[in-house]
Structure 1
Amino acid sequence: MINPIEQQRVRILINGIVQGVGFRPHVYRYALEYQLTGTVLNDSQGVTIELQGDKRQIQLFINCLKEMPPPLARIDKFEVVIIPIISENSIFEIIQSQQQSQAVVAVSADKSSCEACNQEIMDPANRHYQYPFTNCTNCGPRYTLIQALPYDRENTSMAKFPMCEQCAESYQNPLNRRYHAQPVSCPNCGPSLTLTTNQGRFIAEKQNALDECIHRLKLGQVLAIKGLGGFHLVCDATNSSAVAALRLRKHRPTKPFAIMVANLDTAKQLVLGNDKEWELLSSQARPITLMKKHPTSPLRISENVAPNIDKLGLFLPYTPLHHLLLKELNRPIVATSANLSGEPIITNSRKIQEKLGNVVDAILDHDREILNACDDSVVQVIDNQIQVMRLARGYAPLSLPIKDKQVSTSIAVGAQQKNTIAFGFDHNIFISPHIGDLNSIETEDYFETTLETFKRLYKLKPSILIHDKHPDYSPTRWAKDRSKNADQLIPVQHHYAHVLSVMAANQYTNSVMGFSFDGTGLGDDGNLWGSEAMIADTKGFSTICQFSPFQLIGAEEAIKDPRRVLLAILFQRYSINEIYDLKLPVLNSCSPQLISNLHKIWKNNSHCINTSSAGRIFDAVAYALGLVEQVEFDGQAGMLLESAANNNKEKPIKFTLKKQNNQWQTVHFLCDIISAISEQQLTDKRIGQISAGFMEAIAISLCQIASEHKSLPIALCGGVFQNRYLHELCRSKLTASGHKILVPGLVPINDEGISLGQLWYAINQ
């Protein structure tokens, strides 16, 4: 008998990632273990537990739940309140979910299939054998199939699939790992595969569809295959003809493709990595991980997968379908997002037929609807820290609990490029998955759809809208159009928002020394910035240095045509004849008339934009070295310079980045590099020395400025710092000098982090 004096009843309120991760059965098992009675339920606030029993047993229960929550759970808030003891049955119950006014529970990101499920699909004796939609509480889709909170089957795209008797038994048994796994199904009751032609004509279904898909891949065909958050364009990565066909049809000449491989052993034949990289690659998030190409790889893949760079983007299978496909195919596959350039990933076969019917030979579809599109995450490791380059499947939606502030309902709409949206309310921040570049109607529609998804899930009625200062950005226009329905409309400068995003990732509000280097962003003086060294806090910033400005001849045309950037900087020092005398090899292909016309435009300052962009300087140097003629994708010049520097085994050529009147002297710096290019023949060795010296000069100059403000922590942000060579060089020098560097964690330092920076500014006003 329990002494009544020792009895207690408590109510426990838990918030965080606690739904769709097996939290209630986990609680149920602990309650049985510690002989406690009571209830547990999901609601829009999280999980509510009531426990009654011996006081000591309740404390043991609390300690265990805090220390050993379910594998996919994250506890942000854990409140315990003592309540009156009641008379009740001597049982512990899981009771039906309840919906309340505004949800604050975090929607979990989709997770890769767990080892238990992977074993089942390979076991002929198991009823899930070769079933491509096998999942349990510890894995499978979450965000991509949710319609509303709480996360229950009727609120997902699985609602149309009634469970068979065996699945229902698993679903209802709290001791089964499939208890309330909302996508639970089997071959008798769940989604199934269909293979069609590129115009939707039926070819095969179920296992026959997968077998025929594999057969076609072996023949060198290009297929669209439906994943968790959208379709991939897939072909055999060892078949150069197939890869070339995909490039030609998709009009993607050089941008690297991601490769999916069956397992870690295969990955180690293709790339070199450290422990952190292997850990990331095989984590349950299963991101595309950028790693160094194996110099003597025993596994041959097409050189055309990632031409002219020393990295490969690899990822492991993250659905049972991928596991089954790769096991039977027994070779790596190209698996790139199915979309037109600049548009969002496609989620249904009808759109594949309309937009990519001329790209693919067949479509492997299934009938579980994707309600919320979500691309693949892309990451790399810098100085043993994860750097997220695309925030998506496995990590997003990203939720950040706010410890000390109650937040008014706010929406920050982010940047024009690499857009994400950030939402703040109560004690929470949520960042949407990657949306993309808002340069098309389709992507703007996706922006609107994502907004509506989060407003619906969390019942948001925003009182504050935050946007970039650029008046022509689509998100800025969206916010201004709806400002009459909000209490406040707050603009935040682009590069300041970059720094703020790193501060937000660390919940930091005091002053920092921020280096915000990227391709473009409207500055407070009306010019395009992109190389800001600033002292910033949550109230404002002051720029203490940036590259001296130069012209983008032809405005946006110069972003894709780096010779315009190079010539604009050279025009500041040299006449046209003196430029010819430099004997730059890359200018041999430029006609005198073209150079003369560009000089006239530059001199008249007609159709030109003033900029101080570090990203454009990288473009100019890569062009001068003959590494790139036309910029075909964002960050291309940086990747090529990084590869050249990584391959350099000699001492870098020394350059000096001079500072005068709070400006780094762009013309002096670039002309020194041009002299080094002109004075000797450009060999691979020479290109590597110059590339390394160029980035080392930038790193040294940054450290010199940082040394003048040694008490301030450092934030390195903006897309330029996705260059691993430059970033690691800066971190190494700054750390050696005793500086503290703020780590952004899962928050991207490119424009995907802008929305979080905007929100952090508003929260702290």
Structure 2
Amino acid sequence: MITGIVQGVGFRPFVYRLATELNLSGFTFNNSQGVTIELQGNSTNITQFVDTLTHTPPPLARIDTFEQVEVDSLANCSGFEIIHSESDCSAQVAISADKSSCPDCLSELNDPTNRHYRYPFTNCTNCGPRYTLINALPYDRPNTSMAHFTMCPECERAYQDPLDRRYHAQPVSCPHCGPQLTLTDNQGAAIAHKDAALQQTVERIKAGEIVAIKGLGGFHLVCDATNHAAVTALRLRKQRPAKPFAVMCADIETAKSLARGSDLAWQVLTSQERPIVLLDKHQTPTGETQLSPSVAPTIDRIGLFLPYTPLHHLLLQALKRPLVATSANRSGEPIITDSQDICTRLQGVVDCILDHDRIILNGCDDSVVQVIDDTVQIIRLARGYAPLTMHCNRPVPQSTLAVGAQQKNSIAFGFGHNLVLSPHIGDLFSLEAEQYFIDTLATFKRLYAFNPEQIIRDCHPDYASSQWAEQFSQLNGHCQPTQVQHHYAHILSVMAANQHTGKVLGFSFDGTGLGEGRELWGGEAMIADIQGYQRIAHLKPITLIGAEQAIKDPRRIMLAMLFEQYTLEQVLQLPLTNIAAMPQASIINLHKLWQKGVATQQTSSVGRLFDALACLLGVIETTQFEGQAGMIIESLANGLTEQQVANAGLVFNLPLIDGQWQTDLLWQQMMDVQLSRGDNETTKALIAKGFMDCLADAAVSLAKRHPQLPIALCGGVYQNRYLLSLTRQRLDEHGLNWLDTKGVPVNDGGIALGQLWYGIHQ
């Protein structure tokens, strides 16, 4: 028995060819556990078979376990065959993620003599949809959304031929028997079909229209990225004023004309996972690019990705220009997978819809990654990477479900030797998002016949995921769900990625999460293991005036920091952009709330400190999207020259006294520089750099006190490339060992895996 990612990846045809080459007889079949192979023949050849299969499996396969037993030989056994799959109620096989088009399929797509010429759904065993169209295990065509497409004789022949690369490729089809395109208006009325639909879509995009286009795991909202009016219109219609848009480029040459990246970054961009990769903008001396400035305003980075379906390739070949391709949804809601929902919810956003009749059973957004030094950091774990299945060295004692956090939600499952982290679900702030959460749960429960015996949730009682866990336990007679503190779960997620159970020193820096005693944490240092944690340091709390309102309007946090050090009259006279822009009456009212402690909350969040600094520097007023302040502060620091840094000689200090990093002392240092050096871009950039340098030094200084402990750097703040790179570099300089996240998001997308790691060890 072989387990791992061994179904839907050409594993059995590979086994068939290898056994045939080595003159071995026997058979192989799929079941819900994995793949079974029975061999008979020369012992030397069997040894060679096992060696080849374990060391050079098919490109998309991953072998987790390889169990061998001897069986009695059979008389009259000749030849090797692939027999029908078996199904049972206890699935263990790892589901493969969707993969981008392979070179062979793209070659056929562009070959006028091939029957797949210009067919937008061309695929084979080595590429195409997997997770997004599977309904049940084992992974066979009747268990997918291709079940109602009857194969034509030519596709049937390829599907049944073990020597053909389309052997048992479940989505196999061609223009005669497979899915087809339909272009509709924004109310769903058909305009054109098949190739005519594609050609009209091209013309409409060239004319500046916004089109919803169905991909593998959902719809994109697409427009010409070089057309400023079209990009601006998309922002207005989607009510997304500042958050960057991703751009799809036809090829790596186009991408390199728009951005700069390391060799590793280009490798990731062209990998079969085809994620969105965050790269440095490549600008001309005048600061212009061929893209609309509205694609990624105010920051020095851009998210690029390459086409990953035949449809995308055909589209970009015809357009010969980069496209904005952003998830089709309303702000904060999950990606839309059905054209009827586009008509209902985004009718005022799109001009037309390019749809097709292959149903998306399981929604899956685009993955987002960045390269930091020589490591890949996953920001959004989704298409190409997810579901992420990890082999657990020890068996999971009972089926365990972890329901994750409120933002960037994902869910995790533990059973057998498997730890499974779902694709990105999103923020659970709407009924649609909560339904998507429930649908994703149902998908995995159905695929794995999974019934949780233990449920793990966040400590925050108001999270939608926490409330679901409580209701499920009451309805199903389970004991109370186990609660895991948010920032401890961040650290546990890094431990899980490394199969680590011993003590670590974790730095959990993020926006906010519920701490002990209803406090809001977010700047924590903990010594932790799988049994618990000790909070050994944290930011000295800062005040959120208006509580959650301060997260959306971080000027309130800035004012609270200023009120700590200046009188109200002095604050009103400060020569700061955001002070001058606010009505004095508003500042006076906020001062009263701060003074009386009414409608305020304390937080130790590093993310909120970034927000306050961005307001101090006058680069934001209100927060348009999560992490905006951190992106802008990083962009400011990246714009400095070495000479400017050397001439400034600016160093801030963040002392640790009685377990608290003295936030107020750091703030006063930054204020002194801001007021003494004047409100100019260089001063802002120097303060931004000095602030992040100071955070890195504070973490490293504490780590030096615990040199024997591995270090986990986690939480959304560590998506800041400058901060993470500098912190790792300084840890390396002192010979301190840090743990890589190995494909698990450091943000709240990894929380569920951390919760799961705790639960399975209790």
TM-score normalized with structure 2 length:
0.98
User: How far apart are residue 34 of structure 1 and its match?
Assistant: 0.5
Which whole-Å CA distance do the structure 2 matches of 1:592 and 1:245 have between them?
35
Q: Which position in structure 2 is the counterpart of 1:522?
A: 514
Q: Which position in structure 1 is the counterpart of 2:166?
A: 178
Q: 1:686 aligns with which of 671, 683, 688?
A: 683
Q: 2:149 aligns with which of 161, 165, 181?
A: 161
Q: Which position in structure 1 is the counterpart of 2:76?
A: 88
Q: 2:377 aligns with which of 387, 403, 414?
A: 387
* Deviation readout 1:449-503 (Å, 9 max, x if unpaired): 0000000000011100000000111111111112243256210000000000000
Match of 2:468, SS state, is: helix
Match of 1:268, SS state, is: helix
Aligned CA distance change for structure 1 residues 217 and 762 (closer, same or farther; 3 Å)? same
* Deviation readout 1:655-704 (Å, 9 max, x if unpaired): 11121110011111112212211222222222111110010011111111
- Aligned positions of 1:212-361 closer than 5 A: 212-296=200-284, 300-361=290-351
1:149 is aligned to 2:137:
yes
Match of 2:512, SS state, is: coil
Aligned CA distance change for structure 1 residues 605 and 303 (closer, same or farther; 3 Å)? same
Which whole-Å CA distance do the structure 1 matches of 2:283 and 2:322 have between them?
18
Q: Which position in structure 1 is the counterpart of 2:665?
A: 668
Q: 2:458 aligns with which of 451, 468, 471?
A: 468
* Deviation readout 1:70-121 (Å, 9 max, x if unpaired): 1100000001111111113311110000001210000100000001001110
Which whole-Å CA distance do the structure 2 matches of 1:581 and 1:202 have between them?
62
Match of 1:446, SS state, is: helix
* Deviation readout 1:104-158 (Å, 9 max, x if unpaired): 0001000000010011101101000000000000000000000000000000000
Q: Which position in structure 2 is the counterpart of 1:5?
A: none
Match of 1:389, SS state, is: strand
- Aligned positions of 1:625-636 closer than 5 A: 625-636=617-628
Letter paired with 1:502: V
Contact 1:568 1:602 in 2 (8 A): yes
Greater CA deviation, 604-613 or 480-489?
480-489
**Runs of 4+ displaced beyond 3 Å:** none
Unaligned runs of 5+ in 1: 1-12
Q: Which position in structure 2 is the counterpart of 1:572?
A: 564
Contact 2:572 2:584 in 1 (8 A): no
Which whole-Å CA distance do the structure 2 matches of 1:269 and 1:409 have between them?
49
Contact 1:195 1:364 in 2 (8 A): yes
- Aligned positions of 1:396-475 closer than 5 A: 396-475=386-465
Letter paired with 1:732: Q
User: How far apart are residue 407 of structure 1 and its match?
Assistant: 3.5
Aligned CA distance change for structure 1 residues 584 and 84 (closer, same or farther; 3 Å)? same
1:732 is aligned to 2:729:
yes
Which whole-Å CA distance do the structure 1 matches of 2:159 and 2:76 have between them?
26
Which whole-Å CA distance do the structure 2 matches of 1:540 and 1:158 have between them?
47
* Deviation readout 1:486-542 (Å, 9 max, x if unpaired): 256210000000000000000001110100000000001320000001111111111
* Deviation readout 1:223-253 (Å, 9 max, x if unpaired): 0000000000000001001000100111111
Which whole-Å CA distance do the structure 2 matches of 1:77 and 1:60 have between them?
18
Which whole-Å CA distance do the structure 2 matches of 1:603 and 1:757 have between them?
39
* Deviation readout 1:179-218 (Å, 9 max, x if unpaired): 0000000000000000010111111000000000000000
Match of 2:518, SS state, is: coil
Contact 1:407 1:427 in 2 (8 A): no
Contact 2:218 2:328 in 1 (8 A): yes
- Aligned positions of 1:14-163 closer than 5 A: 14-163=2-151
Which whole-Å CA distance do the structure 2 matches of 1:344 and 1:406 have between them?
31
Which whole-Å CA distance do the structure 1 matches of 2:558 and 2:277 have between them?
33
Contact 1:463 1:488 in 2 (8 A): no
Contact 2:543 2:603 in 1 (8 A): yes
Contact 1:527 1:610 in 2 (8 A): yes
Unaligned runs of 5+ in 2: none
Which whole-Å CA distance do the structure 2 matches of 1:758 and 1:193 have between them?
42
* Deviation readout 1:728-752 (Å, 9 max, x if unpaired): 0100101111011100111000000
Letter paired with 2:712: A
Contact 1:570 1:667 in 2 (8 A): no
Aligned CA distance change for structure 1 residues 676 and 175 (closer, same or farther; 3 Å)? same
TM-score normalized with structure 1 length:
0.97
Which whole-Å CA distance do the structure 2 matches of 1:583 and 1:656 have between them?
24
Match of 2:77, SS state, is: coil
User: How far apart are residue 299 of structure 1 and its match?
Assistant: 5.9
User: How far apart are residue 298 of structure 1 and its match?
Assistant: 9.0
Which whole-Å CA distance do the structure 2 matches of 1:291 and 1:425 have between them?
38
Contact 2:511 2:606 in 1 (8 A): yes
Which whole-Å CA distance do the structure 2 matches of 1:252 and 1:460 have between them?
38
Match of 1:304, SS state, is: coil
1:657 is aligned to 2:654:
yes
Contact 1:407 1:428 in 2 (8 A): no
Which whole-Å CA distance do the structure 2 matches of 1:763 and 1:488 have between them?
16
Which whole-Å CA distance do the structure 1 matches of 2:671 and 2:577 have between them?
11
Q: How many residues align?
A: 753
Which whole-Å CA distance do the structure 1 matches of 2:629 and 2:40 have between them?
64
Which whole-Å CA distance do the structure 2 matches of 1:407 and 1:147 have between them?
27
Match of 2:420, SS state, is: strand
* Deviation readout 1:153-185 (Å, 9 max, x if unpaired): 000000010000000000000000000000000
Match of 2:279, SS state, is: strand
Greater CA deviation, 217-226 or 482-491?
482-491
Match of 2:123, SS state, is: coil
Letter paired with 1:362: C
Which whole-Å CA distance do the structure 1 matches of 2:292 and 2:188 have between them?
30
Letter paired with 2:333: E
1:190 is aligned to 2:187:
no
Which whole-Å CA distance do the structure 1 matches of 2:411 and 2:578 have between them?
41
Which whole-Å CA distance do the structure 1 matches of 2:400 and 2:120 have between them?
40
Q: 2:610 aligns with which of 618, 623, 631?
A: 618
Greater CA deviation, 296-305 or 669-678?
296-305
Greater CA deviation, 711-720 or 543-552?
543-552
Q: 1:375 aligns with which of 359, 362, 365?
A: 365
Q: 1:478 aligns with which of 452, 458, 468?
A: 468
Q: Which position in structure 2 is the counterpart of 1:199?
A: 187
Match of 1:170, SS state, is: helix
Letter paired with 1:66: T
Question: What fraction of aligned residue pairs are identical, expressed as a percent?
Answer: 57
Greater CA deviation, 431-440 or 583-592?
583-592
Aligned CA distance change for structure 1 residues 509 and 111 (closer, same or farther; 3 Å)? same
Across the aligned residues of Structure 1 and Structure 2, the Cα RMSD in angstroms comes to 1.0
Which whole-Å CA distance do the structure 2 matches of 1:88 and 1:157 have between them?
40
Letter paired with 1:576: L
Contact 1:288 1:315 in 2 (8 A): yes
